[in-house]
Amino acid sequence: MAEKRVDPATGEAVTLKELMAHYKGTYKKREVEDYWDGYCKVPKSKAKEKKPAKEQKPEPKAKAKAKAKAEAKPKAKAKPATKPAEDVEAKGIRTGKDGGASALAKLRSFSKCVLAEYVWLDADGVTRSKTMTMTARPLKVSDLKVWNYDGSSTGQAEGSNSEVLLKPRAIFNDPFRGYPHVMVLADAWNAWDDKPAKNNTRVACAETMDMYRSLDPWFGIEQEYTLMKPGKVGLKSAVPLGFNADGSEPAPQGPYYTGAGFNVAIGRPVADEHYKMCLEAGIKISGINAEVMPGQWEFQVGPCRGIEMGDHLIMSRYIMLRVTEKHDCICSFDPKPKEGDWNGAGCHTNFSVEPMRAAGGYDCIVKVCEAFGKATKDHIKEYGEDNDKRLTGKHETCDINTFKYGVANRGASIRIPRDAEKSGRGYMEDRRPGANCDPYRVTNIIMKTTGECLAAETIEAGAKMHTAFVFIKPHAVYDKVKELVKDKLVAEGMTILKEGQIKAEVIDKKKLIDTHYGAIAAKAVSMKPSQLTVQEKAQQEFEKQFGVAWSKVMEEGLVFNALDGAKKLGISSDELGKKYDTLKKGEDIIKFGGGFYCGKVDSIYVINGFYMNMRSKFTAPGTSIYYYEVEWPAEKMKWADFRGKMLGPTDPATAPTGSIRNEIYNKWAELGLKAQPDTGDNGVHASASPFEALAERSNWLRASITKDPFGKAVLASGVTMHMIKEWFDDPAVSFEGGKKSLFDLVEDLDAAECLKKLKAIAAEN
């Protein structure tokens, strides 16, 4: 019976297959698989059987102590729940991708259209917005179009070159206009160079969150604000809503915090309406309360994961500004809205990473607090303007020039909850950010300092063990070969983590072999010749060898990838592969670069035609591979020895005596092979480096990068998730003055050296 887990987005127990079907068309297959592995939990009844209740991890709390679900939807693409599509269609409202102006032009009426309120930050960090009419209600961010606005009016561009782009990042329900209308959180980009516009701090924050995604950061922000009496239009308000009409000050602080009553809870209608509006929008608002000064309130947003924290807080601020429009008051996020013996307004940021929430995590909390102390000035710079007026050492603050942390100490820079000390794990609260802080800058510096603090341990852990992917090739999958390979691996002190068979039908359907061969396969199957870059020197060699310019054969349409080349010639891919195998280097075929060949077949030129034969060996019906995922202590065997001595080089005839490839080569008949192995069919494949092993295990075994020790170490080394996935295709990267194959640069390096090299490559790219 298929395993069931609870989808935190719906609360329902489902199988992986059912989860795939539910999110089909909304998320990519790999994203759903990562979601299943990382966030979907075993139903409580089963979880209790496996684990005592006392071992369950405590959830971090916002100040209001409102309990929130620990799990979230997949990061960055999380969106609030929407009504069933059939209900929408019944009302005549389309869902999905916006048709744009051309679709609008064909409509007789816009009455069934959807309004999208785009919201973004201007040069001063203030929310701006504008509305677009759309042909359909978007279900995901990619359904939305990139829009633009006049950046010269927001302090983000010059009048002579004022167009700034709005790139959608998150979708919320529109609580003001109601269903099916939406609000869109977007960030700003220069139209002229496609770089982040002035004050687009989300980009840097997203990169940091991506880099340290394996730490699974949770945030909860307590946004304080002060309701002010309207002053002159366009000018800063000076009088809080709760202050007397005759200009005199109200009674001292004391009764207002969490109070009730006409002269105590000043502005409750605003706070309550904002709360409801945020819930309708799909914002993760978890509580509200009246604060210490009259007219001062707080709302809590979170727990949120990663970049989601900034998105939800920015949208909640925007909703607050909209709510005050009809309550004859102004919302101020000033950290010290009223001088005198009155509390300022902060943005206390509750924070934890997975090691803090795990058993024994209290030590991690203390370690991170110590790291924060060493970076005090860097943090204060990111925590909001005029924060010095608030952080005075009075009114529940620590002086801006002092750093201290303590348990249950509201006068400290960092407060550690008493529950965290008691249970030995939990979260920490940074009390320094001001009410006007940029949440992207705050969460970015918090995660960066934490990540750097914990990176050393993560990198050290990832460098201690070597994990490789080994498989017996289809031509050699026989019981005696399996026995030989397994015995050899175990004899060399390796631990077999997993082993099994992958059939040709699966390899073909999931394109596992195409992903495995990366750039080689892409050039042969999916990329068109016009998408390929042929260096000038290579073009000169081509003309010298074939007597015709590369530009001319491209212009005449004589160059094809292997797949299209077979169709052009009217032959099968296998037949093309056989023709390609007869080509002679220096005569009929030329090498343009690593894994990049061009051969003349009959009257046309074919890119990587050899690949089709390679592929067919793995996808022929009735065949399969047999794999082993193995690990061993890095200190016990170097990666170069693993490949050179234990496995043996590509040519099995020259492999060292006793190596796996040499043993299969010499005993091929005894082992049941139909022919003696050669350079192509050499019996066994094994990863060429720890990084290539990560790529192969991610492809063939769907290994999670963020859960894998080496994957975590790569991320901790400063390589982003986006970069890792790009590098899995073995691109040519800039390094030490030239362009080289990524896999070639790290080939045969031990884990520790591989991590250092990857970090250096990332720095140059």
Q: Tell me the three-class secondary structure of 180-217, residue by residue.
A: CCEEEEEEEEECCCCCECCCCCHHHHHHHHHHCHHHCC
Asked if omega into 303 is within 30° of 0 (cis), the reply is yes
Query: Which residue from 493, 439, 181, 398 is spatially nearest to 300, judged by alpha carbons?
Result: 439
Q: Which of 59-63, 199-203, 397-401, 449-453 has the lowest mean pLDDT?
A: 59-63
Query: Which residue from 419, 399, 425, 393 is spatially nearest to 407, judged by alpha carbons?
Result: 419
Residue with tokens 């001062």: 296
Please provide the average confidence, as pLDDT, over all residues in the chain: 90
Q: Render pLDDT for 517-556 as a digit per residue (tens, 0 to 9).
A: 888 888 998 899 999 888 888 999 999 999 999 999 999 9
CA torsion 11-12-18-24 (nearest 10°) is: -30
The confidence band for 9, taking pLDDT boundaries of 50, 70 and 90, is: low
Residue 202 CA to residue 310 CA, distance in Å, equals: 8
Q: Render pLDDT for 122-160 as a digit per residue (tens, 0 to 9).
A: 999 999 999 999 999 999 999 999 999 999 999 999 999
* Model confidence at 610: pLDDT above 70: yes
Sequence-ordered list of residues with C-beta below 8 angstroms from that of 192, at least 6 positions apart, any chain? 161, 163
Question: Torsions phi, psi of 507, nearest 5?
Answer: -60, -40
335: three-class secondary structure by DSSP: coil
* Model confidence at 71: pLDDT above 70: no
Strand 428-430 with 347-352, pairing? antiparallel
Query: Which residue from 145, 119, 304 is spatially nearest to 223, judged by alpha carbons?
Result: 304
Residue 607 CA to residue 586 CA, distance in Å, equals: 15
Q: What is the pLDDT of residue 92?
A: 77
Segment 318-344 mean pLDDT: 93
The confidence band for 91, taking pLDDT boundaries of 50, 70 and 90, is: low
Please answer whether residues 298 and 63 qualify as being in contact, where contact means their C-beta atoms are separated by less than 8 angstroms: yes
Q: What is the pTM of this model?
A: 0.69
Q: Exposure pattern of 422-448 as b/e (b: 16+ CB <10 Å)?
A: eeebbbbbbbbbbbbbbbbbbbbbbbb
Q: Render pLDDT for 209-223 as a digit per residue (tens, 0 to 9).
A: 988 888 999 999 999
Q: What is the pLDDT of residue 65?
A: 39
The sheet carrying 684-686 orders its strands as 495-503, 624-633, 465-472, 684-686
* Model confidence at 57: pLDDT above 50: no
Range list of β-strands (E), 76-211 = 114-121, 127-134, 147-150, 163-173, 182-190
Q: What is the pLDDT of residue 391?
A: 84
Strand 285-290 with 147-150, pairing? unpaired
Residue 11 CA to residue 73 CA, distance in Å, equals: 11
Q: What is the pLDDT of residue 158?
A: 93
The confidence band for 76, taking pLDDT boundaries of 50, 70 and 90, is: very low
Asked if omega into 8 is within 30° of 0 (cis), the reply is no
Q: Give the chain's length.
A: 765
Query: Which residue from 642, 647, 644, 632 is spatially nearest to 466, judged by alpha carbons?
Result: 632
Residue 598 CA to residue 585 CA, distance in Å, equals: 10
The confidence band for 30, taking pLDDT boundaries of 50, 70 and 90, is: confident
Segment 381-393 mean pLDDT: 91
Side-chain-facing half-sphere of 402: CA atoms under 13 Å: 12
Residue 522 CA to residue 507 CA, distance in Å, equals: 16
Q: What is the pLDDT of residue 457?
A: 86
Q: Exposure pattern of 216-237 as b/e (b: 16+ CB <10 Å)?
A: bbbbbbbbbbbbbbeeeeeeeb
Q: What is the pLDDT of residue 120?
A: 98
